[in-house]
Amino acid sequence: MSYLEKIDNLRFPAFSNEVETFVCPILKSYNEAPCGLRLAHGWRYFDNIRIIQNYKSSYFETIMSPKELMKSASLAGSSSLLEAEIIIDCLTKQRDQFSRLDMSFAHLMGIINLTPDSFFEESQSLNSLSVCKTARQMFNDGASIVDLGAESSRPGSKRISSEQELKRVLPSLIEIQKTNDLNINISLDTRNLSTMVKGFDNGVNIINDISSFANEKSIRFISKENIPIILMHMQKEPDVMQQKPTYKFAPIDIFKFFSNKIHSLMKLGVKKSNIVIDPGIGFGKTLKHNLDILNYLPLFHCLGVPILIGVSRKSLIADISIEKYKSKSFKKKILDPGNRLSGSIAFAIQGYNNGIQILRTHDVFETKQAFLCQETVY
């Protein structure tokens, strides 16, 4: 674990060889930053940025304007200046469409669990007719994507066979295809190649892999078929991921993971326009790690791809609530994921204000309502 110190001036010129330099825009509405740069051709703007430098495993943060960043980088030479220009271009460049969706707007991904052991029982749909009905309702309530998962990834969960996973999910995919007159974007949450193949053959538009396609055969499949994908960061496997997870500084460590992963996928033929990243809130992270990631979410825009976050109903909400409010009866209530809607909405709005393009939620209607109100206020 490293310490982050906030300082008034950079210790080294931006992107100089002595340090690692990272950029995190400070995002505002257009009314708050009318002369600012527009983030990814979307709904947020920035006129100041956090510059984070890693020097000998210590992190230092300075706030400056994009012009000041360019001036600092120029002191380190032309290659450093070019790197700064590339980062600003990544931040401002319009994102490509992802599975027919315009990434200049925020989208909701509705969650449907086909697992009997999901951490949130109310999200479970264990027969194909129920799944189809729920998917249509989510679409009508404002979801752009519906995400189906047949293997639980809750902390402590054990992996199931691909045969068992297919047995759970395939009937629902077939049923949705029979009546998909709404042309719903279907995402399949799986890390098994055989499930990916069967899913794609039965109408799946997006593959959401919590292992970030650790299997090279899966990478070659999605590359060949040109399938949009979601990469999620997870430290270790779900059954052991919460056993003493460690990072130097979680946002930077995860940023570097995705930077390397995107590069390796592109070398294997995956189009950058087909990639969305998910920092994996709650997957191999402590409360401190999760909060650091959420506080530095705009950092991930420097990767130049859309971002997804999923905080809906997670234990993070209970952890914060219990720490801040000591009532025993409150603690008993908040331990039930069914009582975490308000916290889920709060984090969804925080994601929206940080320019996050896809919010994964159990509660599409309520989150869409919150988004519409937030858009009107700003």
The structural domains of the chain, with segments of one domain joined by +, span 4-92, 107-377
Q: What pairs with residue 352 in β-bridges?
A: none
The answer to whether residue 314 is catalytic is yes
pLDDT digits (tens, 9 = 90+) for 323-357: 888 777 888 888 888 899 999 999 999 999 999 99
- Residues 305 and 263 sit within 8 Å (Cβ to Cβ): no
- Average pLDDT over the chain reads 92
pLDDT digits (tens, 9 = 90+) for 274-317: 999 999 999 999 999 999 999 999 999 999 999 999 999 998 99
pLDDT digits (tens, 9 = 90+) for 51-92: 999 998 899 999 999 999 999 999 999 999 999 999 999 999
Catalytic residue of the set 28, 285, 360, 368: 360
Average pLDDT over residues 35-61: 96
Helix, strand or coil, per DSSP, at residue 37? strand
Average pLDDT over residues 155-180: 85
Catalytic residue of the set 314, 328, 331, 368: 314
User: Higher-confidence residue: 243 or 187?
Assistant: 187
Name the pTM for this structure: 0.94
Q: Which of 210, 252, 216 is nearest to 231 (CA)?
A: 210
Binned at pLDDT 50, 70 and 90, residue 156 comes out as low
Sequence letter at residue 95: R
Q: What pLDDT shows up at residue 85?
A: 97
Give helix then strand counts, H and E, for the chain.
Answer: 12, 13
> What is the spatial distance between Cα 28 and Cα 352, in angstroms, rounded to a whole number?
11
Q: What pLDDT shows up at residue 120?
A: 52
Architecture per CATH, domain 107-377, reads as Alpha-Beta Barrel (3.20)
- Residues 135 and 265 sit within 8 Å (Cβ to Cβ): no
In the chain, % helix, strand, coil (3-state, to 5) comes to 45, 20, 40
pLDDT digits (tens, 9 = 90+) for 351-369: 999 999 999 999 999 999 9
pLDDT of 124 over the 60 cut: no
> What is the spatial distance between Cα 302 and Cα 348, in angstroms, rounded to a whole number?
21
Which residues lie closer than 8 Å to 262 by C-beta, 6 or more apart?
231, 272, 275, 277, 303, 305
pLDDT of 104 over the 70 cut: yes
